Amino acid sequence: MDVNLIFKIAAIGMITAILHIVLEKSGKQEYAYLLTLVGVIIVLGVVINLVSNLFNDVRVLFRLY
Amino acid sequence: MEIFQIVGIGLVATILIVIVKQTRPEFAILISIAAGVIIFSMMLSKIVYVIDTISSLSSRADVNITYFNTILKIIGMAYIVEFASQISRDAGQDSIAMKIELGGKILIMVLAIPILLALMDLIIKILP
């Protein structure tokens, strides 16, 4: 497992926050909302894979079939 | 030493969560999930060693293998339930956390019923 994933998620979060502020200042609230949604969905895709790997490992380890 | 890796990951994740949480709280939850999964994955190989040792001990002590498997399953379910309910509680959703814990408790009770029945059989056998 690599720790880089945590940094990547934090970087995506900060970039979305900055772009959200920029879009909001220029009066494009709907694009700002969409941007947040897309960012969350992208990161959620990565994290869901991670959690599914964890569940598979726990299932094999603790014999939960 | 892996303990330094774990402590480092925990501290770095905490700092990043505190930074991100002010503007985007939804990413803070995702970072905490990722950190928890990474730390647990690092511990999996150690848990395999412990479980193998307990398994060989229980087979040497001639304990029924189904009881050992049930206990193992209960430990795994308890860990998963705890993981999910802590994340929900961190995100401020206490009611969802309570429901997850309720589901985990009921499923663990269902798993424990065969052991309870065996205990009851034993008690009835002992009673005159």
pLDDT over threshold 70, residue B52:
yes
pLDDT at residue number B97: 95
Mean pLDDT of all residues in A18-34: 89
DSSP string, B73-100: HHHHHHHHHHHHHHHHHHTT-HHHHHHH
Single out the residue of B111, B10, B51, B17 nearest to residue A62, CA to CA: B51
Enter the tokens of residue A2.
Answer: 């690599």
In the predicted structure, residue B127 carries a pLDDT above the cut 90: no
Nearest CA in chain A to B31: A6
pLDDT at B101 over 70: yes
State whether residue B23 is helix, strand or coil: coil
Query: Residue A3: which of B12, B47, B14, B17 has the closest Cα?
Result: B12
Model confidence at B40: pLDDT above 90: no
- Asked if the Cβ–Cβ distance from A62 to B34 is below 8 Å, we say no
Contact A37, B58 (CB under 8 A): no
Band of pLDDT at residue B2, cut at 50, 70 and 90 = confident
Residue B31 touches partner A, C-beta closer than 8 Å: yes
Rounded to a whole number of angstroms, the distance from the CA of B127 to the nearest CA of chain A is 35
pLDDT at A1 over 70: no
Average pLDDT of every residue of chain B: 90
ipTM, two decimals, is 0.84
Q: With an 8 Å Cβ cutoff, are B42 and A12 in contact?
A: no
Q: Is the pTM of this model over 0.95?
A: no
Residue A62: pLDDT above 90?
no
| The dihedral formed by the CA atoms of B66, B69, B71 and B77, expressed in degrees to the nearest 10 | -140
Q: pLDDT tens for residues B56-96?
A: 998 898 888 888 888 889 988 998 999 899 999 988 899 99
Cα–Cα distance for residue pair B91/A29, rounded to 1 Å: 25
Question: What single letter denotes the amino acid at residue B87?
Answer: I
> Mind listing the pLDDT tens digit for each residue in A32-46?
889 989 999 999 999
What are the structure tokens assigned to B128, written together?
């005159």
Q: Look at residue A65 and tell me whether its pLDDT is greater than 80.
A: no
